[in-house]
């Protein structure tokens, strides 16, 4: 993991929560203009580190506090001897309060301020001080034009607090947003920097709390927490007299004809993540392949629903769905699993059959939908899920009274009581078949070793994403099974088997 990722704070806020925190800091004695100055200094330091030889800055300013930050960055650049000018996309006459003071400070320092026009020349490092967290709804003229010009310029771009056009609460880009190379976020990290469309627009992320009182930060409610290595659920070490019966018997149910690999991936993942025993209930045609690949997995040819209840009774955790299919065989096995009182992980076609409404989800389940499956479970479109991923994850957890892992960039773990975690690790190289099967088996193994549903889902998502990120240095072609040994290694580093 990179030091930059681990140095970021854990709490993630909505725009409203950050505004409330800002107001609390001002009420506690830090003037708003001083906070704005601190933000400008933080941004200027980051700009100098990233582009030390640039020598020229063009600030595009709106009409709110984000513009105020931009005017003060321009002042600092001017004082450092850089060529600098501000293109006022928002009318200068609309500036008020601290933003108006910042504008006057820039003028006093000799910064050239020009009204925006479509033909304005962009030069040097472009500083996005257009909208920040103030963006809501639709982009209006002339902001849409200015953002298009920024993105088409080919010049380096620094975004202040949040790329303009990106929604601070959910990472949605409705039309377009500033595509930043570097984003410097202030006071509190915004949830929308990490999920939805955000990974394609934020670039490198730098954070500065503007010297905020830690007690005030701790007192402010947040929308979610980031998963990070120092704050993950922990498996207990094993005693030297431990035996296999202490670490859970995971039963994987799935693998209809043509899909045996999915179920075997889940079973192998559970085994390698430390489950004491792993069984696999699958089509008889897949038994030989399972024994040849992984003889430690107890593979049972399961052609009838009546064979499943005894297998469920012997297990501690059930993982159902990988390669299950939606035909009669898969439907009958899922109905038998749903009747069991064991903790369960539902993935893939188990979720599609659940969405069809023919089954009642048992208690103590983890659901692991991708956005399309989440849309079917909620009865909405995939675009609506992606338009507000945090809301979709929480809605699923509430509807099904289950822990939900909403997969995708910025995977989310939601609990029925409103807790929300976000994993900002991962890599596009792990966008491939079988990765979800590995994750499902991993969650099952962690449940079998004593973690509750929320903790198991959180640790599994982090291990899975971290393994993918570590292996993706070699680029495309990463196979799902490639992750399993690396997950095992990361789990041992995080929670050593022996104390």
Residue with tokens 């971290």: 466
pLDDT for res 436: 97
Extract the residue ranges of the chain whose pLDDT is less than 70. Answer: 1-6
Residue with tokens 């402010």: 220
pLDDT for res 495: 94
Tokens matching residue 259: 């899909």
Is-contact 120 100, C-beta < 8 A?
no
Distance of alpha carbon 361 from alpha carbon 207, whole angstroms: 41
pLDDT for res 10: 96
Give binding residues for AMP as ranges. 407-411, 436
Burial of 7 (0-12, 13-18, 19+ CB in 10 A): exposed
Q: What angle do CA 39, 43, 44 make, to 5 degrees?
A: 115
Q: How many CB atoms lie within 10 A of CB 341?
A: 10
Q: In what order do the strands lie in the sheet with 189-190?
A: 189-190, 11-13, 224-226, 420-423, 411-414, 403-406, 365-367, 344-346, 317-320, 249-253, 277-282, 298-301
Distance of CA 72 to the CA centre of its chain: 32
- Ramachandran sector of residue 182 (left: φ over 0; alpha: ψ -120 to 50; beta: rest): beta
Rounded to 5 degrees, what are φ and ψ at 176? -155, 165
Give binding residues as ranges. 66, 128, 132-138, 143, 161, 164, 262, 323, 370, 407-411, 436-437
pLDDT for res 230: 83
Distance of alpha carbon 406 from alpha carbon 371, whole angstroms: 7
Is-contact 249 474, C-beta < 8 A?
no
Tokens matching residue 363: 């208690």
pLDDT for res 6: 62
pLDDT for res 425: 94
Distance of alpha carbon 258 from alpha carbon 256, whole angstroms: 6
Give binding residues for K(+) as ranges. 66, 128, 164
Nearest to 8 by CA among 173, 221, 194, 213: 194
Residue with tokens 């025993």: 277
**In b/e form, how buried is each residue of 48-74, taking b as 16+ CB within 10 angstroms?**
bebbeebeebbbbbbbbbbbbbbbbbb
Give binding residues for (6S)-NADPHX as ranges. 132-138, 143, 161, 262, 323, 370, 437
Cα–Cα separations (whole angstroms), residue 487 to 392, 442, 467: 28, 9, 6
pLDDT for res 292: 95
The reported pTM is 0.95
Nearest to 317 by CA among 336, 344, 279: 344
Local structure of residue 199 (DSSP, 8 states): G
pLDDT for res 358: 74
pLDDT for res 141: 87
């Amino acid at each position: 993991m990179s030091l930059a990722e681990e140095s970021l704070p854990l709490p993630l806020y909505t725009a409203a929560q950050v505004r409330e925190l800002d107001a609390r800091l001002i009420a506690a004695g830090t003037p708003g203009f001083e906070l704005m100055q601190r933000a400008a200094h933080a941004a200027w330091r980051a700009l100098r580190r990233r582009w030390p030889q640039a020598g020229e800055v063009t600030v595009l300013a709106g009409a709110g506090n984000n513009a105020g930050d931009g005017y003060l960055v321009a002042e600092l650049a001017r004082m450092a001897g850089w060529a600098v000018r501000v293109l006022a996309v928002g009318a200068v006459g609309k500036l008020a309060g601290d933003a108006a003071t910042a504008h006057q400070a820039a003028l006093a320092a000799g910064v050239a301020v020009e009204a925006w026009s479509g033909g304005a020349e962009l030069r040097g490092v472009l500083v996005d001080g257009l909208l920040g967290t103030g963006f809501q709804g639709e982009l209006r003229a002339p902001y849409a034009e200015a953002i298009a010009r920024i993105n088409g310029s080919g010049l380096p771009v620094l975004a202040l607090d949040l790329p303009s056009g990106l929604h601070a609460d959910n990472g949605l880009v409705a039309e377009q947003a500033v595509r930043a190379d570097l984003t410097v976020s202030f006071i509190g990290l915004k949830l929308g920097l990490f999920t939805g469309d955000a990974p394609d627009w934020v670039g490198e992320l730098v954070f500065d709390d503007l010297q905020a009182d830690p007690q005030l930060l701790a007192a402010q409610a947040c929308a979610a927490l980031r998963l990070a290595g120092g704050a993950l659920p922990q498996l207990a070490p094993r005693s030297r007299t431990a035996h296999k019966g202490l670490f859970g018997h995971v039963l994987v149910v799935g693998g209809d004809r043509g899909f045996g690999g999915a179920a075997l991936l889940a079973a192998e993942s559970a085994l390698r993540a430390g489950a004491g025993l792993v069984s696999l209930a699958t089509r008889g045609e897949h038994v030989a392949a399972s024994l040849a690949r992984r003889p430690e997995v107890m593979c049972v040819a399961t052609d009838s629903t009546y064979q499943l209840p005894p297998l469920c009774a012997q297990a501690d955790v059930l993982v159902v769905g990988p390669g299950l299919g939606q035909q009669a065989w898969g439907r009958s096995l899922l109905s038998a699993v749903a009747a069991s009182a064991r903790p369960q992980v539902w993935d893939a076609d188990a979720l599609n059959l659940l969405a069809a409404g023919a089954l009642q989800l048992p208690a103590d389940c983890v659901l692991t939908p991708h956005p399309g499956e989440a849309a079917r479970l909620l009865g909405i479109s995939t675009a609506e899920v992606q338009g507000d991923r945090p809301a979709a994850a929480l809605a699923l957890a509430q509807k099904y009274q289950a822990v939900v892992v909403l997969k995708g960039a910025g995977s989310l773990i939601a609990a029925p009581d409103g807790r929300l975690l976000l994993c900002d690790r991962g890599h596009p190289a792990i966008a491939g078949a079988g990765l979800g099967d590995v994750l499902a088996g991993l969650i099952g193994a962690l449940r079998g070793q004593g973690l509750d549903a929320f903790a198991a889902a959180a640790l599994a998502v982090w291990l899975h994403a971290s393994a993918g990120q570590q292996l993706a240095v070699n680029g495309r072609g990463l196979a799902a099974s490639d992750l399993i040994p690396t997950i095992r290694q990361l789990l041992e580093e995080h929670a050593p088997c022996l104390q």
